[in-house]
Amino acid sequence: MKDFFLSTKSITLIRILDHIIQANEAPMLRDIMYHFSLSKLTAICYLKELQLDLAELDANIQLTTVNNRYELDYPEGMSSNAILFELRFAYIIQTTSFQVMDALFKHHYNSVQTLAEATNFSTSSVQNCIKQLRVYFNTFYVTISFRGKQNIVGDPLNIRLLMIYTYTSIYRGSVTQDFVTTRSQYPTALKPHLSFSQHHQIEVLESVTYFNLIQKKYSITLNPELHQLFEAINKTNTITLELPGLPEQTLLDESLLFSFLLRIAVANYDTDTEKIKITEAILALNTDFTNDVNHLLLDFFETYQLNYTKTSFLISFYYLVITFIYLTYITFDITDFVMFNDTASTFKQIDIDSYQEIDHLNQFLAEKKAHYTTLPANSTGTLLSEMFFFLLDYNPQIKPLKINIQYTKNFYAATMITKNLQNVFESSIVFTD
């Protein structure tokens, strides 16, 4: 889904540029042809197009050739990743799909014809685009309609998340969204000393939230169970939204939702110490749901013989309970947006078939469903599997140390040594003959 708005050609151009940036040695034309399965003529045309597109971004950014090798030259202080983000953004905003979607989010249209006129596209192009957008929106259980007061139809929470994930994947790096809101009048109290990327992600979250509340009049109502969980999370690094004219209960629900989404959208907003405080607050609720997550995590550690401390357990619980809250109360799969990567799994490092282990994880979760009835039936989904892969990396498996005991002074001392070692190290060691 992350490349929904990009054409096949645009994706290839971005990948060619990334290949040039990442290469240990500047690639030659034939290297690019081979790597991307392009003819000589197509490769030359694509590289020339890249040169022009980069020049449009910034005249100081140049794709140069020296001895038929391609290199990216850019001013000192500029980031190559930022250039990639900006190029990607430039390609996206030129597409019919993006412009139609952006218009539908920001305005209201009575018909396809009025939308076509506003975006300067033909009616047939807009119709085809809407068909594609409906498929994309369906991932979030949201649709498009020209009947009624709203073009974007669905649960307000789903619409909110659709906008957050979509605009977050589009507006990256130094590129910022252009929502026209009065949010700057109502700054959100956030923790200090945030990184640039954290500020950027928060800016997208703020923009979408305030846009929905101020201009679209979309607001969220939390059910009691979700309200209780979000309150426990929001006790640490408390978020309080302030918008005049909104009911107190609406502002409270919106603040709690913002606080939760902050934990998903912004990497490491909480420190490890803060994650532990949040975990302790959630465990203190002592509900069937929180207890089931806790026991499932304990079962997981036991099944996979993971070496964990109290701190690592509490931090693991933080990640797992947030995942289960999402799967239980929001439900749709966001794996394409959060872009987990199982290739770094512990299983890869110890030469175990990761696909086999995915099956093993899913089997483990399926078996536990009967015992932990508050957890969602769809708990074998990709998102949860990837989370457990992360926990496997975070809490490494115990690799038993093989020991051979040889003691010849008497016939019983070796057994005594073995017993004493077992008492101290338990399953972390095995004895060989």
pLDDT of 29 reads 94
Among residues 3, 5, 28, the alpha carbon closest in space to that of 93 is found at 5
pLDDT of 21 reads 94
- Structure tokens belonging to residue 319: 């990640």
CB of 392 closer than 8 Å to CB of 304: yes
CATH architecture of 8-80: Orthogonal Bundle (1.10)
Among residues 164, 252, 243, the alpha carbon closest in space to that of 207 is found at 164
pLDDT of 350 reads 42
**Neighbouring C-alpha atoms within 13 Å toward the C-beta of 105:** 28
- Structure tokens belonging to residue 334: 């966001």
CB of 321 closer than 8 Å to CB of 290: yes
Q: Of all residues in the chain, what percent are helix, strand and coil, respectively (each to 5)? A: 60, 5, 35
CB of 152 closer than 8 Å to CB of 108: no
Instruction: Mark the ranges of the chain whose per-residue pLDDT is less than 50.
Output: 339-352, 380
Among residues 20, 85, 83, 26, the alpha carbon closest in space to that of 54 is found at 83
CB of 16 closer than 8 Å to CB of 36: yes
pLDDT of 246 reads 87
pLDDT, one tens digit per residue, over 25-50 is 999 999 999 999 999 999 999 999 99
CB of 170 closer than 8 Å to CB of 5: yes
Question: What are the residues facing 90 on neighbouring strands?
Answer: none
Rounded Cα–Cα distance for residues 383 and 139 (Å):
14
Helix (H, G, I), strand (E, B) or coil at 163: helix
CB of 128 closer than 8 Å to CB of 41: no
Neighbours of 349 (CB within 10 A): 11
Among residues 402, 382, 379, 355, the alpha carbon closest in space to that of 299 is found at 379
- Pairing type for strands 401-403 and 429-431 reads parallel
pLDDT of 347 reads 43
pLDDT, one tens digit per residue, over 107-127 is 999 999 999 999 999 999 999
pLDDT of 339 reads 44
Rounded Cα–Cα distance for residues 170 and 204 (Å):
10
pLDDT of 120 reads 96
Q: How far is CA 323 from CA 116, 149, 316, 318, 392, in A?
A: 40, 34, 11, 9, 15
Dmax (CA) of the chain: 96
pLDDT of 95 reads 94
**Three-state secondary structure string covering 368-424:** HHCCCCCCCCCCCCHHHHHHHHHHHHHCCECCCEEECCCCCCCCCHHHHHHHHHHHH
Neighbours of 410 (CB within 10 A): 8
Would you kindly state where each structural domain of the chain is located, as residue ranges?
8-80, 272-394, 401-431
CB of 14 closer than 8 Å to CB of 88: yes
DSSP letter, residue 28: B
Run of H or E including 152 = strand 152-153
Q: Which residue has 């050609």 as its token pair? A: 9
Q: Which residue has 């207890």 as its token pair? A: 291
Residue 71 burial class via C-beta count within 10 angstroms: exposed 0-12, middle 13-18, buried 19 and up:
middle
Q: How many residues does the chain have?
A: 433
Question: What are the residues facing 153 on neighbouring strands?
Answer: 143
